[in-house]
């Protein structure tokens, strides 16, 4: 595939737009098992990201992702700010200095992001968090690439895996984040963070595949 | 949504301005940040206390900035943890060389953002540490979960650790005292109505005319379960019993009690709840050393209350009695 | 009606018990009467201050019993003036030989019942006098009517006359000081919601989702008119302007400001209102000497607020700054 | 007519019952222009009156009325307590020591009651208060007696006059009591105190005439 810096910025802007469109949806998911602000938080964060990337020349993708992460950390607050922020900042490290990235780079980006979220959130799979979308996606992407899929196919599989992961969050009890206070009552509801993660992956797939 | 506000986006900024304008003898606001610090900050040689969290819990935390309590309070958006930057700014503004203790309520967001700020401050060479308050017994404690939330019991941490710092203790000692309060304080709350985050414009959960929510958080999170509304006495019994299940209080032990209103519940009703709480504890031979009835940690315009019980020893009693002079809490 | 109560008939009794149990270091309750007096009453040689009125305005008035404020507080039923008997009992319990000043809010019922109690005390040879607080500018002043109501400005009377008495002034002097406060304090209120008297079980007036009530009383009385809801700034302007129409405040004059919550309105909103009130006064060159934001004179669970402005001179400033130590008001 | 002490107690008890029956009605009238408690106040007061008169031997009508007044003052609070209380206590003075009273005595009782209310309330006719029922009633009673009506006829006229007075309170602005805070907004509503006064007069008439 090979994606250049300015295109990365475009994709991030597209993510911001999709988050904006799904603001109320994400917020409603959070209202059911959290404090009803996940969409608001994410929208606020990505608005700041857009602003921060406005004048970026696209010459260093690491820089783009770092700015994204820092804008999220500095503007979101709540749980999702440090989590997504750390994800982008960790991802930035693996592509630092690069002008363009391949699907192999993206695989590492996603791995680093997952690693960052796990460390920051002290969480693992099946705790009803972002990880339940992201980890299956990373696994699927890796498998697909190992099995010779091309970028588009591999991304499609990642999105599908994330989708299944999000569905699965309905069946499990939250043990991290605000939803964990609900105990059994969290069952039956989708995790908002997993949902926003799926949204981001979908946007990336759509942008790459079209 | 019927609120005395101008614009949902500006509530935090305007509230901090209004608070600072009301109490300029206590507070000043850091330019460009939602941070209130003591007027005289930094106080050279004194360990500084910084707390904060989402807004919507007033007077927490800005109202507790002053002599004998906090040095700095960081206000996030309504019900949303502040980001690391303003926390870091608060730390820099109040550090008088003796170090800074962060008092963090146990919410994933708060913990992560305060931790990031702590990392930033450490990189600047500031002597900094933190404690995490988790007094809410509604949430089962477990190493597998995010653990208990911090609610109204946090005010006891501010008060007592604040007194310790004011008396000249070092950072480790202040932290130990804060930790002692945390280990000895338990709270439990209930709501009669929900509340509306200004930016959201509608309530997070709803309650029928005959329903109440038990064990809800102070961020509009739904509680552990709904029940039919009960009398004040039954509510008091339910809250206290849940606390006592979790806390070993032998006959003769001394406690401080806080009856905290979530905002819409009038003092009249809080006094009525206190009567029963007082009776229950007294019947069990528990001695009530001091009681605080009022609004200490609210949840926007929610109706309901929480009860906090703090087990005291001689040190905690003395520190509780030390003078505190802040806009919202005076001893 | 969603309230944390046990039985509408016992709310006053239970609330007074709960308040006394919370603050035994300040208060005691007179056996068989809805009267709270200072723990150390009577204080020999000090002029004693007694106030009271209907219940439902907590912390008024029981919360203001203590050093530097009231000696006794008489609680009527919810929103109903107490009868002369408990007022008379309060007077007897607090009179330390230097006489008693009754601080009465200007409601027909309160005035008549306090007058009757005063007559009873005089017959017993007690040196007694009274002042009538009428700070509410919503009601036009006229010799042909019952005159203005007493609302939150009353707390300034308690504070300042209380300080005067504490300093050893005689009854005439304390009365003159109280009278000076009354002449210089004006208030104006608004409501976003109504409230429910427990015994009645339903609200006295209702407000649509887009309506607010201007100039309502603190007893669930409807106000002077309804309006569409406005922003906090517009509300602040409306309240302050109505006060300033009635009060001559020249540039450079100093005032104390009270932003009083009626119960359900959270501190966040009161701070926002204060910001605008502060700006308006400052723009006019009026100096704000001190501001009090909180719930001082509530109206059951009503949402809304009142603004009070007290014009100060040196004596009033000094007395305002004197220490006060009561459950609900500390300086 | 000639009414003896025990019968006076019976009538007062009947008043208490009628007040009880009309508790919500009076309260609603008060809700419109006051604080919505007039019925509750009066009911509470007359309950105490009943209790206080339970063991009275009926030998001194002045004593009966004094006890009634004191029970009202000591139990009602609000405006109506001292007003009705004073009314009964003043009335007590004019029949002190009497074992039975005639219509002439009753006229003086009513005059004294009116006088008491006027002094206590610092009020006069047309201020939308109890007086707007009571003063016309007193005038009508006096006129009727002067013109030779018998007790029943005179009382009937008094009740009618009170009724007209109560109706009239709808047309005027309150200048005393809580309703005065409403200014113009008090127009169109009946005064609750006038209504309770009419109720009392009606009960007396009904008891005397049957
Ligand atoms: N410890 C954690 N690790 C990973 N993800 C988490 C953790 N805690 C919460 N989350 C994610 O954050 C989401 C909530 O984000 P958000 O609503 O923005 O923050 P907050 O809970 O502070 O209001 C949850 O749905 C969950 O996916
Ligand atoms: N100054 C007064 N003189 C005569 N009657 C009055 C006066 N003030 C009030 N009232 C009467 O009292 C009635 C209200 O009584 P009530 O509701 O029991 O007392 P409150 O107003 O204290 O709640 C009014 O309807 C009016 O008739
Ligand atoms: Mg959330
Ligand atoms: Mg949140
Ligand atoms: Mg009344
Ligand atoms: Mg009334």
pLDDT for res C169: 98
The bridge status of strand C35-38 relative to strand C48-55 is: unpaired
pLDDT for res D180: 87
Neighbouring residues of B77: CB distance < 8 A, sequence distance ≥ 6: A77, B12, B54, B55, B199
Q: CA nearest C129: which of C185, C172, C69, C161?
A: C172
B2 in any annotated domain: no
Number of domains in chain B: 2
Q: Is A202 left (phi over 0), alpha (psi -120 to 50) or beta?
A: alpha
Q: Which residue out of D19, D72, D83 has the highest number of ligand 2 atoms within 8 Å of its CB and is therefore the one to mutate?
A: D83
H or E element that contains C51: strand C48-55
Number of Cβ within a 10 Å radius of residue B106: 21
C3 in any annotated domain: no
What's the CATH number where B301 sits? 3.30.1180.20
Residues paired with C51 in a beta bridge: C73, C103
CA distances from A14 to A71, A72, A162, A196, B31 (A): 16, 16, 19, 14, 34
Q: Could you give the angle at the alpha carbon of C38 between the alpha carbons of C36 and C39, nearest 5°?
A: 105
Taking the C-alpha atoms of residue B163 and residue B315, their distance in angstroms, rounded to an integer, is: 11
pLDDT for res B144: 58
What is the whole-number distance in angstroms between the Cα of residue C7 and the centre of ligand 1?
Answer: 43
Taking the C-alpha atoms of residue D154 and residue D1, their distance in angstroms, rounded to an integer, is: 11
Report the Cα C201 to chain-centroid distance in Å.
Answer: 25
The answer to whether C201 and C8 are in contact (CB under 8 A) is yes
Q: Is the pLDDT of residue A100 over 70?
A: yes
- What token pair was written down for B187? 């709270």
Q: Is B109 in the pocket of ligand 1 (CB under 6 A)?
A: yes
- Helix intervals (H) in chain B: 11-22, 84-94, 108-123, 154-166, 171-184, 232-246, 267-283, 314-321
pLDDT for res B141: 58
Taking the C-alpha atoms of residue D177 and residue D117, their distance in angstroms, rounded to an integer, is: 13
Is the domain of B150 the same as that of B203?
no
| pLDDT 10s digits, B296-321 | 999 999 999 999 999 999 999 999 99
Please indicate whether residue C57 is annotated as part of the active site.
Answer: yes
Q: If you average pLDDT over residues B4-14, what whole number do you get? A: 97
The alpha carbon torsion through A169, A171, A177, A181 (nearest 10 deg) reads: 160
Q: How many Å from the N-terminal Cα to the C-terminal Cα in chain A?
A: 12
| pLDDT 10s digits, D94-138 | 999 999 999 999 999 999 999 999 999 999 999 999 999 999 999
- What token pair was written down for A50? 């857009």
- What token pair was written down for B59? 């007077």
Q: Which residue has the tokens 């500084």?
A: B48
Q: CA nearest A161: which of A137, A126, A127?
A: A137
Quick check: A76 and B204 CB within 8 A? no
Report the Cα C128 to chain-centroid distance in Å.
Answer: 21
Which of D36, D178, D181 faces C200 most closely, judged by CB atoms?
A: D36
The answer to whether B38 and B51 are in contact (CB under 8 A) is no
Is the domain of B135 the same as that of B189?
no
- What token pair was written down for C208? 């649509």
- Tens of pLDDT along chain C (331 residues)? 799 999 999 999 999 999 999 999 999 999 999 999 999 999 999 999 999 999 999 999 999 999 999 999 999 999 999 999 999 999 999 999 999 999 999 999 999 999 999 999 999 999 999 999 999 999 775 555 678 899 999 999 999 999 999 999 999 999 999 999 999 999 999 999 999 989 888 887 889 999 999 998 888 777 778 999 999 999 999 999 999 999 989 999 999 999 999 999 999 999 999 999 999 999 999 999 999 999 999 999 999 999 999 999 999 999 999 999 999 999 9
What's the CATH number where D17 sits? 1.25.40.340
pLDDT for res C220: 74
The bridge status of strand A100-101 relative to strand B35-38 is: unpaired
Taking the C-alpha atoms of residue B35 and residue B33, their distance in angstroms, rounded to an integer, is: 5
Phi, psi of D13 (to 5 degrees): -65, -40
Q: Pick the residue from chain B with its C-alpha nearest to A175.
A: B145
Is the domain of B159 the same as that of B272?
no
What is the whole-number distance in angstroms between the Cα of residue A31 and the centre of ligand 4?
Answer: 10
Last residue of a domain, one of C152, C183, C214: C183
Question: Which residue range forms the structural domain that includes residue D63?
Answer: 3-209
B143: exposed, middle or buried (Cβ count in 10 Å: 0-12, 13-18, 19+): exposed
Taking the C-alpha atoms of residue A53 and residue D176, their distance in angstroms, rounded to an integer, is: 69
| pLDDT 10s digits, B146-183 | 788 999 999 999 999 999 999 999 999 999 999 999 99
What is the whole-number distance in angstroms between the Cα of residue B138 and the centre of ligand 3?
Answer: 19
Is the domain of C103 the same as that of C229?
no
| Residue C81 CA, closest ligand 2 atom number | 22
Is the domain of C172 the same as that of C199?
no
pLDDT for res B201: 85
Number of Cβ within a 10 Å radius of residue C89: 22
Please indicate whether residue B57 is annotated as part of the active site.
Answer: yes
Which ipTM score applies to this complex?
A: 0.90
Q: Is B133 helix (H, G, I), strand (E, B) or coil?
A: strand
Q: If you average pLDDT over residues B110-119, what whole number do you get? A: 96
Last residue of a domain, one of C183, C209, C241: C183
The answer to whether B74 and B35 are in contact (CB under 8 A) is yes
H or E element that contains A40: helix A38-53
Binding partners of B (≥3 Cβ pairs within 8 A): A, C
| pLDDT 10s digits, C128-186 | 999 999 999 997 755 556 788 999 999 999 999 999 999 999 999 999 999 999 999 99
Taking the C-alpha atoms of residue B100 and residue D178, their distance in angstroms, rounded to an integer, is: 56
| pLDDT 10s digits, B30-47 | 999 999 999 999 999 999
The answer to whether B111 and B104 are in contact (CB under 8 A) is yes
Q: Which residue has the tokens 């601080």?
A: C103
Q: Could you give the angle at the alpha carbon of B291 between the alpha carbons of B289 and B293, nearest 5°?
A: 180
Quick check: D40 and C199 CB within 8 A? yes
Please, how many CA atoms are within 13 Å of residue B225, restricted to the half-sphere of its CB?
Answer: 4
Those of residues 99-158 in A touching chain B at CB distance below 8 A are 120-121
Chain C interface disruption, residue of D49, D75, D78, most C CBs within 10 A: D78
What's the CATH number where B101 sits? 3.40.50.10440
Q: How many Å from the N-terminal Cα to the C-terminal Cα in chain C?
A: 36
What is the whole-number distance in angstroms between the Cα of residue B53 and the centre of ligand 4?
Answer: 10
Those of residues 221-260 in C touching chain B at CB distance below 8 A are 229, 231-233, 235, 257, 259
Residues paired with A121 in a beta bridge: none
Last residue of a domain, one of B150, B184, B218: B184
Q: Pick the residue from chain A with its C-alpha nearest to B198.
A: A37
B328 in any annotated domain: no
Is the domain of C204 the same as that of C270?
yes
B1 in any annotated domain: no
Helices then strands (H, E): number in chain B?
8, 12
CA distances from B182 to A62, B134, B157, B177, D156 (A): 42, 7, 7, 9, 76
Interhelix angle D151-169/D192-209, rounded to 10 degrees, is: 160
Quick check: D79 and C81 CB within 8 A? yes
Determine which one of B57, B61, B158, B225 is catalytic.
B57
Taking the C-alpha atoms of residue C78 and residue C60, their distance in angstroms, rounded to an integer, is: 12
Is the domain of B172 the same as that of B47?
yes
Q: CA nearest A65: which of A47, A104, A31, A92?
A: A92
Interhelix angle B267-283/C11-22, rounded to 10 degrees, is: 60
Number of domains in chain D: 1
The answer to whether D204 and D7 are in contact (CB under 8 A) is no
The answer to whether B64 and B326 are in contact (CB under 8 A) is yes
The answer to whether B166 and B312 are in contact (CB under 8 A) is no
Is the domain of C177 the same as that of C243?
no
Q: How many Å from the N-terminal Cα to the C-terminal Cα in chain D?
A: 12
Question: Which residue range forms the structural domain that includes residue C99?
Answer: 8-183
Q: Which ligand does the CA of D78 lie closest to?
A: 2
In chain B, which residues have their Cβ closer than 8 Å to the Cβ of C21?
274-275, 278, 288, 291
Taking the C-alpha atoms of residue C80 and residue D79, their distance in angstroms, rounded to an integer, is: 8
pLDDT for res B170: 98
Q: Is the pLDDT of residue B330 over 70?
A: yes
pLDDT confidence band for A178 (50 / 70 / 90)? confident
Neighbouring residues of A177: CB distance < 8 A, sequence distance ≥ 6: A34, A79, A121, A128, A129, A193, B108, B146
C229 in any annotated domain: yes
Quick check: B109 and A40 CB within 8 A? no
pLDDT confidence band for B217 (50 / 70 / 90)? confident
Is the domain of B133 the same as that of B226?
no
Is the domain of B170 the same as that of B227?
no
Q: If you average pLDDT over residues A204-210, what whole number do you get? A: 91
Q: Is D41 in the pocket of ligand 2 (CB under 6 A)?
A: yes
Number of Cβ within a 10 Å radius of residue C142: 12
Number of Cβ within a 10 Å radius of residue D184: 9
Is the domain of B90 the same as that of B25?
yes
The answer to whether B48 and B101 are in contact (CB under 8 A) is yes
Is the domain of C176 the same as that of C231?
no
Q: Higher confidence at residue D50 or residue B138?
A: D50
């Amino acid at each position: 595939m090979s994606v250049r810096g300015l295109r990365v910025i475009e994709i991030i802007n597209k993510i911001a737009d999709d988050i904006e469109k799904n603001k109320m949806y994400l917020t409603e998911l959070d209202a059911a098992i959290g404090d009803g602000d996940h969409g608001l938080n994410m929208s606020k964060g990505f608005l700041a990201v857009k602003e921060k990337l406005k004048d970026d020349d696209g010459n260093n993708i690491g820089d783009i992702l770092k700015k994204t992460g820092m804008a999220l950390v500095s503007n979101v607050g709540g749980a999702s700010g440090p989590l997504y922020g750390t994800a982008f900042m960790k991802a930035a490290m693996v592509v630092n200095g690069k002008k363009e990235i391949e699907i192999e780079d993206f695989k590492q980006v996603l791995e680093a992001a997952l690693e960052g979220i796990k460390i920051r959130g002290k969480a693992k799979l099946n705790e009803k968090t972002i990880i339940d979308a992201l980890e299956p996606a990373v696994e699927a992407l890796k498998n697909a690439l190992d099995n010779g899929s091309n970028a588009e196919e591999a991304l499609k599989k990642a999105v599908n895996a994330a989708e299944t992961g999000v569905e699965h969050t309905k069946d499990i009890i939250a043990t991290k984040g605000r939803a964990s206070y609900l105990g059994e009552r969290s069952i039956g509801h989708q995790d908002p963070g997993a949902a926003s993660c799926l949204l981001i992956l979908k946007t990336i797939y759509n942008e790459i595949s079209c | 949504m019927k609120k005395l506000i101008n614009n949902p986006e500006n509530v935090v900024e305007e509230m901090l301005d209004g608070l600072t304008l009301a109490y300029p003898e206590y507070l000043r606001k850091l330019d460009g940040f939602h941070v209130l610090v003591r007027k005289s900050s930094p106080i050279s040689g004194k360990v500084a206390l910084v707390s904060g969290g989402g807004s919507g819990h007033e007077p927490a935390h800005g109202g507790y900035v002053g002599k004998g309590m906090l040095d700095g309070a960081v206000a996030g958006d309504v019900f949303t943890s502040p980001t690391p930057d303003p926390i870091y700014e608060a730390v820099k503004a109040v550090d008088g060389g003796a170090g800074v203790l962060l008092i963090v309520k146990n919410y994933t967001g708060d913990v992560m953002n305060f931790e990031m700020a702590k990392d930033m401050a450490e990189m600047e060479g500031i002597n900094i540490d933190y404690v995490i308050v988790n007094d809410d017994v509604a949430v089962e404690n477990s190493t597998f979960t995010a653990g208990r939330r911090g609610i109204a019991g946090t005010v006891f941490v501010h008060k007592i650790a604040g007194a310790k710092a004011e008396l000249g203790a070092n950072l480790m000692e202040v932290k130990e005292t804060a930790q002692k309060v945390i280990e000895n304080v338990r709270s439990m709350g209930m709501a009669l109505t929900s509340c509306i985050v200004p930016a959201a414009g509608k309530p997070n959960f709803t309650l029928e005319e005959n329903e109440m929510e038990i064990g809800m958080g102070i961020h509009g999170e739904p509680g552990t379960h709904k029940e039919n509304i009960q009398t004040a006495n039954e509510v008091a019994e339910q809250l206290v019993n849940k606390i006592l299940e979790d806390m070993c209080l032998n006959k003769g032990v001394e406690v401080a009690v806080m009856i905290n209103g979530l905002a819409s519940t009038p003092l009249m009703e809080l006094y009525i709840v206190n009567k029963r709480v007082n009776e229950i504890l007294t019947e069990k031979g528990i001695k009530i050393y001091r009681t605080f009835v009022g609004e200490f940690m609210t949840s926007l315009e929610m109706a309901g209350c929480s009860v906090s019980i703090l087990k005291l020893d001689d040190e905690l009693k003395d520190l509780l009695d030390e003078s505190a002079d802040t806009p919202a809490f005076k001893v």
